[in-house]
Amino acid sequence: MKLQKPIHLLVVGSLAVAVSGTAMYLLFSRYQASYVYSIVVLVLLSLVTFFVFRYILEKFIYDKIKVIYKTIHTLKLPKRDKRERVNLNEDVLEKVSWDVSLWAQKHQQEIEDLKKMEAYRREFLGNVSHELKTPLFNLQGFLLTLLEGAIDDPQVNRTYLEKAAKNLERMINLVKDLEIIAHLESGEIKMNYSRFDIISLTREVFEMLELKAKQKNIQLIFNEKHDDGLPIWVMADRERIRQVLHNLIENAINYGVENGRTKVSFYEMNDLILVEVSDNGIGIEEKHIPRLFERFYRVDKSRSRNLGGSGLGLAIVKHIIESHGQTIHVRSAPGVGSTFSFTLQRYSS
């Protein structure tokens, strides 16, 4: 018999004790023990040893595995009085190791996800404090210099104040974008779908960015096909798509060249509308493209910061488009320009 289960061990153990006990009884009995007596003693001893051993063994094993089960089941164990003992008729240790490996498999993914989230959280916090630190220290520097006397110097006081204001603007942009991304990522916000004309929404965004474009003499135009102003109806969250267009057109201006142009085009594809925002600006090298939509990823850090960019614009754009179940792509060539294109659900009555 293979001693696989605790019960086997128990039976062999108690028999061994009983046989030795009976042998002792025979050896030391003052009367010549009869055959029947010896059998009775053997049976009685076997039974008593078996039950005593079983009680001790069950309690011992239960106390050990209780700790393991408490760890792997975050749930509480059944009440102590209900499960004081273990079933010795099964291979307890194999069952425990099976349960533990099942638990480990189930939790492996969870543990990996948690580790990733933790790494992401640490990196994000590091990025945020770094992004805030620079403009804050700049601001402090400009204000202190003004207080130390520069305020009375008509040559520099205005420049310093303007620089301070620019750093403040950068911080405000960052905080606003952080708030947007936190809302989007919390998953609490539902997209508010409605039917609207994407051409007129683009026109509104053009108007908002007109001044910025004028400073670089950049033209904001529609593809010729849409000059007639006929509406194109889409189903989406209007305010969030406004944010998408704003971020993309603002980038096209920021990273565009003086006297350049930013063009928005629309293409109908079955039940989708493809929206393209293209510029003839500085363009992006191929190697940067895969990371472009990551938070805080910038091709030229100092240029982006000088322009007041938070580095979150494209991350927000991607989040919004993907929350609509749509996709966004970018094509670009350094020195030629960039085109960001995304799809939207076309509204069909």
Ligand X SMILES: Nc1ncnc2c1ncn2[C@@H]1O[C@H](COP(=O)(O)OP(=O)(O)O)[C@@H](O)[C@H]1O
Q: Is residue 309 close enough to count as binding Mg ion by CB under 5 A?
A: yes
Partner that binds at residue 150, options Mg ion, ligand X, none, CB closer than 5 to 8 Å by kind: none
Residue 281 lies near Mg ion (rule: CB under 5 A): no
Report the residue number whose CB is nearest to Mg ion. Answer: 313
Stretch touching Mg ion by CB under 5 A, among 94-102, 197-205, 244-252, 268-276? 244-252
Residues at the site binding ligand X, with contacts judged by CB under 6 A: 247, 251-252, 255, 279, 281-284, 292, 298-300, 304, 309-315, 338
Question: Binding Mg ion by CB under 5 A: which of 46, 49, 243, 251?
Answer: 251
Site string for Mg ion, 310-349 (x = CB under 5 A): ---x------------------------------------
Instruction: Report if residue 256 touches Mg ion, rule: CB under 5 A.
Output: no
Residue 283 CB, shortest distance to ligand X, in Å, is 6
Which of residues 171 and 284 has its CB atom nearest to ligand X in the complex? Answer: 284
Residue 312, C-beta contacts closer than 8 angstroms, at least 6 positions apart: 174, 177, 178, 180, 181, 295, 296
- CB-based contacts of 89, cutoff 8 Å, min separation 6: 5, 7
Element (H, E) at 316: helix 313-323
Provide the minimum distance between the beta carbon of 319 and Mg ion in the complex, in angstroms, as a whole number: 14
Half-sphere exposure of 301 (CA within 13 A, CB side): 7
Give the span between the Cα atoms of 25 and 37, in whole angstroms: 10
Q: At what angle do helices 92-147 and 157-186 cross, to 10 degrees?
A: 160
CA-closest candidate to residue 264, choices 232, 237, 290, 309:
232
Nearer to ligand X, 141 or 283 (CB): 283
Instruction: Report the nearest approach of Mg ion to the CB of residue 73 (Å).
Output: 49
Output 124 or 160, the one with its CB closest to ligand X. Answer: 124
Nearest to 311 by CA among 160, 168, 218, 176: 176
Q: Which is nearer to ligand X, 54 or 305 (CB)?
A: 305
> 313-323 and 157-186 are packed helices; what angle lies between their axes, rounded to 10 degrees?
20
- Residue 304 binds which of ligand X, Mg ion, none (CB < 5-8 A, kind-dependent): ligand X
Q: How far apart are CA 149 and CA 145, in angstroms?
A: 7
- Nearest residue (CB) to Mg ion, 6 versus 313: 313
List the structure tokens of 335. 């020195």
Which partner from the list Mg ion, ligand X, none does 135 bind, CB cut-off 5 to 8 Å by kind?
A: none
Residue 202 phi, psi dihedral angles, 5° rounding: -65, -40
Question: For 190, which DSSP code?
Answer: P
**Strand pairing category for 328-333 and 219-222:** unpaired
**Partner whose footprint covers residue 18, from ligand X, Mg ion, none (CB < 5 to 8 Å by kind):** none
The entry of Mg ion, ligand X, none near residue 311 (CB within 5 to 8 angstroms by kind) is ligand X
Query: By beta-carbon distance, which residue lies closest to ligand X?
Result: 309
- 61 or 277: CB nearest Mg ion: 277
